[in-house]
Amino acid sequence: MELREMRFATIVGTEVKVKVNSAAEAKAAIKELRHKKKEVGLLKRRVAAELKRARSLEAKAEKAAARSRRQKGFFAALGRLSSAFSDDDHSEDVQRLEKDLGHTEEILHNIDSCIIQLEGKLLT
């Protein structure tokens, strides 16, 4: 996941840090964070769509495996043997996408908390 550089804020992992020196910079940082929030939201939607697709592929693969286990005979045994050596492991994709989705949600939460903190400092 590649995010653009920001002027007042930095995102390292899921941690969001903001450094401002004046009220004008704080207002600009809030605008910047709101824009970044939209960018991360789009990324989250894309990851969620990929996760949905990967889960459906995993479900189809499980149904096909169950169907082939019920079949009997020489050709069914060859099919089971060839599928045992294949690289189609969809569960790793699902786990990776779930982890990415969790990271994006945590980044969104941290962006929101930075916005709230900056707005609170501007009020005083």
List per-residue pLDDT tens for the chain, 124 residues long.
566 788 999 999 999 999 999 999 999 999 999 999 999 999 999 999 999 999 998 888 888 777 777 777 777 777 766 666 665 566 788 899 999 999 999 999 999 999 999 999 998 8
Q: How far apart are CA 66 and CA 60, in angstroms?
A: 10
CB-based contacts of 18, cutoff 8 Å, min separation 6: 8, 9, 29, 33, 114, 117, 118
Q: How many CA atoms lie within 13 A of 83 on its CB side?
A: 14
What pLDDT is attached to residue 65?
Answer: 74
> CA 25, 7, 14: angle at the middle one, nearest 5?
110
Nearest to 44 by CA among 123, 118, 116, 111: 111
- pTM for this structure? 0.77
Nearest to 41 by CA among 119, 117, 111: 111
